[in-house]
Structure 1
Amino acid sequence: MSTGTELAGRLALVTGAGRGIGEAVVAALVEQGARVLATDLAFENVTALADKYGEQVTARPLDVTDAAAVEALVAEAERTLGPLDIAVNVAGVLRSSDVVDLTDEDWAATFAVNTNGVFHVSRSVARRMAGRGRGSIVTVASNAAGIPRAGLAAYAASKAAAVMFTKCLGLEVASRGVRCNTVSPGSTLTDMQRALWTASTDQEEATRRVIEGDLATHRTGIPLGRIADPADIADAVVFLVSDRARHITMHDLYVDGGATLRA
């Protein structure tokens, strides 16, 4: 199934692999010859990926908020599939609300997936990678982690925490050959993005508003004039886990068409 060999012989774990950016990451890794353990709460979605890619993809259900389940899955994978060379944290949720209306449940649920989930997975794989003296961990965060966004306080804060956690982990394991980086997308054509467009049922109009920006919400537009495709984010992930990025760690790569002006 693969068309490239850059990652041939490597085993990758991808969370949130069932759709959107996660699905695109699986496709990009497979294309470069990696074997992928694709995980998601929506097991039927990752099963479809296993059916599509055959032996290169193994599907497993996973709730990243459950530390014991994460540890059990990683242990099983290393026992049955081999040592993990790559881990990509994609699983995420977004619950939009102004802070004054934000519920305790929405705040906790957002951090449970976007921050605690990254911690659970990264801790488990880093222990093993560090012992072997090699490995690469990439966390898919968000450009909202670096610039204030109205209505996205919980999401932005959880992603900012995930970015700094990944950098701290990278510092701790660098001497043992493990690289840890983050990719921070801007607006990307996924179900999560479309969920923010409830004010407009016209996708063309909604897309135009995102590209042009919105002064009322203090939101800049996208200088490159387009919304990202999930494959754009996946390509950045593949670069960071490849040997081309062998001297890059603790880096936060923005893939947002210039939307944040790298504030």
Structure 2
Amino acid sequence: MDDNEPGRPAPDGELAGRVALVTGAAQGIGAAVVHALAARGAAVAATDLSERELIRSVTRLTGRTGTAPAAGPVVPYRLDVTAPDDVAATVERVSRELGPVDILVNVAGVLRTGPAVETTDRDWAEVFAVNTTGVFHLSRAVVAGMAARGSGSVVTVASNAAGIPRADMSVYAASKAAAVAFTKCLGLEVAARGVRCNAVCPGSTDTPMQRALWDGDSVPDSVLDGDLAAHRTGIPLRRLARPEDIAEAVVFLASDRARHITMQDLYVDGGATLR
């Protein structure tokens, strides 16, 4: 078994020479994915709608050099994933400035909660525009080039809500389930051309989006213990995920260590969905 064969620990620089594009990169899971990819040597196009927060995030990672310590360059790009023209222009710019995209990680997402029958048309449209249509826009703009070159990896960060009913999360769950289905169908279409497409489905993760659901700063008991009245399971591992936990799963699926894995959804939720 050589050092690059799957089954060994991830070598430093295993993604050197590759270009990655990450959406939703300003905070939370997206920022952790950018850090993890750059730490393995990838040149990373970090994209987000919030340009100010994105630049702050990239600066925290790279300082003033534009390069993470002992890693690949990280370059911020403002991007609206709901706007197909903006997506096409940004992908073209990234290809021109960093090189053709080898790894696409769809992280950008929004959350609206509430009973299904009280969901407004606007909430439904806005959630699907980012969580589902954004995945379609980026994949369409990037995957054709991957297929033409004969290699590439797409990882869509969805949610364990895509695979288990959650009260008051119908629109979010539906959008994430649709994103997973799209990613798998895309993977089937391009598998013969060397492109792999997978999804990572996090459970409760310590991010600003998660904390916005809490009344205070501490983890509600119902998150770890479950809530029978809401038909919600707890977390068997008795901890929230850290963004880095999700990022490590993303990097694995993007790397050659997962070279024989495609059309899969990997649940990283501490056992919360009991699957």
One fold, TM greater than 0.5?
Answer: yes
User: CA separation of 1:99/1:247 partners in 2, compared to 1, >3 Å: closer, same or farther?
Assistant: same
- Show the counterpart of 2:216: 201
Does structure 2 conserve the Cα–Cα contact (< 8 Å) formed by 1:49 and 1:57?
Answer: no
| 2:268 alignment partner AA | V
User: Which stretch shows the higher mean deviation, 128-137 or 43-52?
Assistant: 43-52
Aligned match for 1:112, one of 129, 132, 156: 129
1:1-263 to 2 correspondences below 5 Å: 4-51=12-59, 52-53=61-62, 54-55=66-67, 56-197=73-214, 200-204=215-219, 206=220, 208-262=221-275
Does structure 2 conserve the Cα–Cα contact (< 8 Å) formed by 1:4 and 1:33?
Answer: yes
SS at match of 1:203: coil
1-side partners of 2:44 and 2:216: how far apart?
Answer: 36
Deviant stretches of 4+, over 2 Å: 48-52
CA deviation after TM superposition for structure 1 residue 6, in Å: 1.1
CA deviation after TM superposition for structure 1 residue 4, in Å: 2.1
TM-score norm. by structure 2 comes to 0.91
Q: Give deviations 1:107-148, integer Å, cap 9, x for gaps.
A: 000000000000000111101101110100000000000010
2-side partners of 1:15 and 1:45: how far apart?
Answer: 13
2-side partners of 1:49 and 1:42: how far apart?
Answer: 11
Q: Which runs of 5+ in 1 are unaligned?
A: none
Identity of aligned residues (%): 65
CA deviation after TM superposition for structure 1 residue 80, in Å: 1.9
| 2:238 alignment partner AA | G
CA deviation after TM superposition for structure 1 residue 202, in Å: 4.6
CA deviation after TM superposition for structure 1 residue 158, in Å: 0.2
Q: Which runs of 5+ in 2 are unaligned?
A: 1-10, 68-72
CA deviation after TM superposition for structure 1 residue 46, in Å: 2.0
